[in-house]
Chains A and B, each alone.
Chain A
Amino acid sequence: MRQGRLPLIISFLLPPLVLYGVFVLSPYLQAFQISTTDWLGYSAQADPVGLANFRTLLHDGYVWNALQNNAILLAVVPVLTIALGLFFATMLAMGGRKGRAGVHGVRGTAVYRLVYFFPQVLSVVIIALLWKELYNPRSGLLNGALGALGLPTPAWLGDPRFAFWCVLAVMVWSNVGFYVVLFGAAMQAIPRDIYEAVLLDGASRTVMLRKITIPLLWDTVQVAWIYLAIAALDGFILVQLMTNGGPNFSSDVIGNRMYDTAFGSETKFGYASAIGVVMFFLTLSVAVLALRAARRDRIEYS
């Protein structure tokens, strides 16, 4: 039945490939080329400057400042999100009173799962704008509560000491629920008799979590790690909409730096592309490192 095979392959594969080639592949390739030019804008000509953009980048304090913030995000967001996600997922999966084996969920698990997942279906734009209002020093929910309790009411996003951490908190807030559900699903795939056997052997809950649950969830945690690391290198929309990198660049991230360089007051396309190339290699190496560091043998239940 070879008849009709070739027409199908061509007509099924060619249109997607063309679309992908034109709008994804070619821009990426062009970006590498543009990054070696001094292209300044919409019509000005672009001269090749070799690696000059990358040399400038090395001494660009704003870029380093932004990268430093990304590094903090990279160090804090995945750890905090995964820790909270595992914690809540564990609570949901085995905090319950019912069942002597102690492996039944708490009451209302379904409701918790429903609610925790809310931020995941909201657009980042809505999350950013809503939290910006929450942090509002005058009319925000946060200072409303602090003021009522007689506590100091900082300017939050307007204060260079806090702005970055406020954005970081929102990043964690918006991600935790997803990982609670993800880890919860993975936990449910762990055969229940393993827990029952361990409980009969007299293991405590903490031991159970440390020696059974987490090792068996490792595959999932690894995936979560990679996704969160990539997200931490981005963070652009939250930063742009909540603080635009300010005040005084205290909450700047590399994505925002690049966007500003390309589409801000001046259109330094060559330089912006160089920043993009750096981001590309950073993302790639973080993903590879995370994969390496977390590599373990895969466990399959028969």
Chain B
Amino acid sequence: MTSVDSGTRPSPVTASGRTADRPLRRELGVANAFSHTFLLLWAAMTVLPLIWMVVSSLKTNGEILADPWALPEALRLDNWTRAWTKAHIGRYFVNSAVVVAGSLTLTMLFGATAAYVFARYEFRFRQVVYYLFVGGMMFPVFLALVPLFFVVRNAGLFGTWTGLILVYSAYSLPFTVFFLTAFFRTLPTSVAEAAMIDGCGHFRLFFRVMLPMARPGLISVGIFNFLSHWNQFLLPQVLMQGDESKWVLAQGLNALAVNQGYAGDYAQLFAGLTIATLPVLVVYVTFQRQIQAGLTAGQLK
């Protein structure tokens, strides 16, 4: 944020400053080479597994077993079609998209409305209700797992997308409300007051004035929630057993891995993993700035 231009400043100690310059330069040169080596090393460690995954998805099983480092003789795109159709990765992909679309919409709507009330309205027991709500962030999901299974089953939602959508949203609400309450509090009250004087009602004020003003916060927490819903594994594993046609992507990939253990179809597993990874990476690279800001803002608040 600081835009200090060191060049325009008068140097306070000219004489000693010049002599001190030389060792500093050398020190910087060494540090530079040193830092580049380590930075490159870690970059390689991050990228290599992913490249290996993509390359292996284009090899035959024989090639994968013969030499994990070798490049494919020919590009075996049939691995991809096999994973997409026979292992149903395509279907699971669509299922995940449907579930996440529903859960994200619900989370954002409920999160924004609840946070707005906590941030802008005074009422009795507000603090108590707020902390009860936000306290959910601290609990490990594990503790709730067994009873949750029965709550969902008794509600007739076991093995349904509706069940998953409701549960995803419920568990995302504490953080979403926490984050958005802080955000709504930072918005200036003058705009709201002006709108009220002009005769704007409470509901219209929220949807027409406050919600658009809160857009940066909504985007941050939306990205955060999208990734956590998309990558969810534990909840579907417990609440979506049985009917394979309704599985989400994480379950499908796990099934692929289990199947690989029996059938030894490595290429299909790598193809499935690649299909699941590439869209996420493409979206990430395109919206890198927003995604990094969104995810880190969640922790800095």
Q: Do A and B bind each other?
A: yes
Q: Which of A5, A118, A130, A196 contacts B273 (CB 8 A)?
A: A130
> Which residues from chain B contact A88 at a C-beta distance below 8 Å?
38-39, 42
Given contacts A5-B202, A124-B231, A129-B257, contact A16 B113 (CB under 8 A): yes
CA distance A64 to B140 in the complex (A): 19
> Which residues from chain B contact A51 at a C-beta distance below 8 Å?
none
* Chain A, range 201-236, C-beta contacts under 8 Å to B: 202, 204-205, 220, 223-224, 227, 230, 233-234, 236
* Chain B, range 169-205, C-beta contacts under 8 Å to A: 169-171, 173-174, 177, 196, 201-203
Size of B's binding interface in residues, CB under 8 A: 105
> Which residues from chain A contact B50 at a C-beta distance below 8 Å?
118, 130
* Chain A, range 256-302, C-beta contacts under 8 Å to B: 258-259, 262-263, 269, 272-273, 276-277, 279-280, 283-284, 287
Cβ of A129 and Cβ of B253 under 8 Å apart?
yes
A96 at the interface (CB under 8 A from B): yes
Smallest CB separation, B286 vs chain A (Å): 11
Cβ of B270 and Cβ of A34 under 8 Å apart?
no
Chain A 1-23 interface mask (CB, 8 Å, partner B; 1/0) = 10111011101110111011011
B98 at the interface (CB under 8 A from A): no
Interface segment, one of B83-91, B141-149, B212-220? B141-149
Cβ of B35 and Cβ of A141 under 8 Å apart?
no
B15 at the interface (CB under 8 A from A): no
B233 at the interface (CB under 8 A from A): yes
A28 at the interface (CB under 8 A from B): yes
Cβ of B6 and Cβ of A95 under 8 Å apart?
no
B65 at the interface (CB under 8 A from A): yes
Cβ of A181 and Cβ of B296 under 8 Å apart?
yes
CA distance A220 to B298 in the complex (A): 12
* Chain A, range 101-160, C-beta contacts under 8 Å to B: 101-102, 106, 111-126, 129-134, 138-141, 143-145, 148
Cβ of A4 and Cβ of B201 under 8 Å apart?
yes
> Which residues from chain B contact A27 at a C-beta distance below 8 Å?
143-148, 151
**Interface SS of chain B: helix, strand, loop or mixed?**
helix
> Which residues from chain B contact A60 at a C-beta distance below 8 Å?
none
> Which residues from chain A contact B21 at a C-beta distance below 8 Å?
100
Cβ of B133 and Cβ of A20 under 8 Å apart?
yes
Chain B residue, CB-CB nearest to A191:
B2
Cβ of B47 and Cβ of A118 under 8 Å apart?
yes
Q: Which of A118, A193, A233 contacts B2 (CB 8 A)?
A: A193
Q: Which of B36, B281, B293 has the most CB of A within 10 A?
A: B36
> Which residues from chain B contact A130 at a C-beta distance below 8 Å?
49-50, 53, 273
B32 at the interface (CB under 8 A from A): yes
Chain B residue, CB-CB nearest to A223:
B299
A57 at the interface (CB under 8 A from B): no
Chain B 232-272 interface mask (CB, 8 Å, partner A; 1/0) = 01100010000000000110011011000000001001100
Cβ of A272 and Cβ of B206 under 8 Å apart?
no
> Which residues from chain A contact B132 at a C-beta distance below 8 Å?
25
> Which residues from chain B contact A143 at a C-beta distance below 8 Å?
68
Cβ of B253 and Cβ of A12 under 8 Å apart?
no
> Which residues from chain B contact A101 at a C-beta distance below 8 Å?
6
A-B contact pairs, 9 of them (CB 8 A): A1-B202, A9-B121, A20-B136, A27-B145, A121-B227, A139-B266, A237-B233, A237-B234, A258-B142
Query: What 14 new A-B contacts, CB under 8 Å, besides A144-B67, A259-B142?
Result: A8-B202, A17-B129, A19-B173, A26-B147, A27-B147, A84-B42, A87-B38, A95-B32, A122-B280, A129-B253, A139-B65, A237-B233, A273-B143, A280-B139
